[in-house]
Structure 1
Amino acid sequence: MPALSSEFKIIAIDGGAAVGKSSTSKGLAERLDLMHVDTGAHYRTITFALLATGASPEDDLQDTLAALDLKTHLDRRTARLCIDGRVPTEVEIRSPEVNASVSKFAAIPAVRQSLFEYQRNQANVGREEGFRGLIMEGRDIGSIIFPDAQHRFFLEADEATRAARRAKEGQTDSIADRDKMDKARKTAPLVCPEGAIRVDTGPRSLEEVIEHIINLIGTGNTSD
């Protein structure tokens, strides 16, 4: 394990669909004693909750969003979004219905704003829970949520590799469509943050990606 300083560290992991953000972030969290936060799961969870109310992306969602009670449930080292006292299951937030709607809801400024302070506050949760730092994954972590994070990485892989990963997971969402919507939205689009380190996960195994990032963190290098 590299010698992280006593200062609470924040590591931002961004990238498109199926580039390996979650598996990489979870592996890093285990190796570096960090709290793990998956903001993609946040948007899936809030999409699940909104669909349950009968809401659609075309609706005025201000009042519905304001009525949602957002809390954090810690599952070992992973912080999960709890809405109105319930943490939806992985099956529920990765259903075809959620897959078809999550990018549409995530593009709505009111939805992103409703999660902004909650996501920023996860650093405080990590400190209170005694972790050495926080690793947060998503599509706007290094650009919007924690632009001053000590370490910012942008994971990428070719579309064929990502499609094969999704198929192996049994997921039905379209990689190309998700990327197009996430990059085109006006609020917090998917971009590689200026100064972030690009990491190509395509030719590397999961363990190689984790080791590569740990080495970059430990040496302070700023290139892949």
Structure 2
Amino acid sequence: MTEASFIIVAIDGGAASGKSSTSRALSARFNLLHVDTGSFYRTMTAELLRVGVSADDADGIGQAAAALPLDTAIEGRRASMCINGRIVPDAEIRTSEVNANVSIFAAVPELRRALLDYQRNLAAVAREHGFPGLVMEGRDIGSVIFPDADFRFFLHADPAERARRRAAEGQTDSIAERDRLDTSRKTAPLACPEGATDIDSTFMTLEEVVERISGDLATRLSPVS
């Protein structure tokens, strides 16, 4: 694999827009390292709540986040954040308490700055592990983390449809409130990056979304499955 052949795919969107399922499918099809940055903010939220840092203490959040020893574990094609050498399990980062607080913590500029270099460095991690590319999902990937990504997509869907998807997953999540917090924050608000491909997934199946994006990626990489 040459440097020129390595690709970065940015997939942004709000809660339950389909970005995680789409990213996982693209990761499998093109053997890309999959990075779910939403899980990073959930992990940090769970840890900060555990040590008693308040969501309205921006300085405290920044200091606590900067002091945490972060590393990355690669499991198959998935990159997981480690804190003190430990992967925080999904059961701890997808609780109702984390759901209620993650967008609040994620809106704090000090936390976003603390994670910026860590997220960008995952491209180097993907290269080191021999992946031909990286697919990173989140809310500011194509606008802040990798504004020069080879491919940038923004997924969105009707709020009612996204709420239905969340319920089908057995999760309790306030889609409207998450949207309000994500789109109104001053630092890296959720929005379709200029020049990104905007995809409305409301009436599309997961397979249709994956096929739409795969057509673009196939101009640079050959699928493995």
- Which TM-score band (shorter chain)? over 0.9
Per mean C-alpha deviation after superposition, the further-off stretch among 88-97 and 133-142 is 88-97
Aligned match of 2:184: 184
CA distance in 1, matches of 2:179, 2:92: 22
Tell whether the 8 Å contact from 2:70 to 2:81 is kept in structure 1 after alignment.
yes
Give the CA RMSD over aligned residues. 1.5
Q: Is the 8 A contact 1:6 1:132 kept in 2?
A: no
Correspondence 1:170 to 2:170: yes
The one-letter amino acid paired with 2:102 is V
Q: Which moved more, 1:123-132 or 1:77-86?
A: 77-86
Matches within 5 A, 1:70-219: 70-218=70-218
| Match in the other structure for 1:34 | 32
**Percent identity, aligned pairs only?**
58
Superposed CA deviations along residues 7-54 of structure 1, whole A, max 9, x for unmatched, are 110000000110111000000000011000000000000001111101
Kindly provide the amino acid, as one letter, of the partner of residue 8 in structure 1.
F
Distance in 2 (CA, whole Å) between partners of 1:212 and 1:80 is 27
Tell whether the 8 Å contact from 1:36 to 1:78 is kept in structure 2 after alignment. Answer: yes
1:129 and 1:219 map into 2 onto residues whose CA distance is: 23
Aligned partners of 1:106 and 1:35: how far apart in 2?
23
Distance 1:35 1:125 in 2: 9
In 2, distance between residues paired with 1:66 and 1:216?
37
Q: CA deviation at 1:219?
A: 5.2
Task: Kindly report structure 1 stretches of 4+ aligned residues shifted beyond 6 Å.
Answer: none
**Cα distance in 2 for residues equivalent to 1:164 and 1:41:** 21
- CA distance in structure 2 between the partners assigned to 1:200 and 1:66 by the alignment: 36
Gaps of 5+ in 1: none
Displacement of 1:62:
3.0
- Give, in angstroms, the shift of residue 85 of structure 1: 1.4
- One-letter amino acid matched to 1:143: S
SS of equivalent to 2:81: strand
TM-score by length of 2: 0.93
Out of 172-181 and 198-207, give the one that drifted further: 198-207
Q: Counterparts of 2:83 and 2:13 in 1: how far apart (Å)?
A: 25
> Would you say how many aligned residue pairs link Structure 1 and Structure 2?
217
Letter in 2 for 1:141: I
> What amino acid is aligned across from residue 21 of structure 1 in structure 2?
K
Q: Amino acid of the residue matched to residue 38 of structure 2?
A: G
Partner of 2:44: 46
**Partner Cα distance (1:80, 1:149) in 2:** 21
Residue range with higher mean Cα deviation, 132-141 or 53-62 = 53-62
Q: SS of the counterpart of 2:86?
A: coil
Alpha-carbon distance, 1:61 to partner: 2.1
After the TM superposition, which of the residue ranges 41-50 and 209-218 deviates more from structure 2? 209-218
**Structure 1 Cα separation of the partners of residues 213 and 66 of structure 2:** 38
Distance (whole Å) between structure 2 residues aligned to residue 41 and residue 183 of structure 1? 18
> Does the 8 A contact of 2:23 with 2:136 survive in 1?
yes
TM-score by length of 1: 0.94
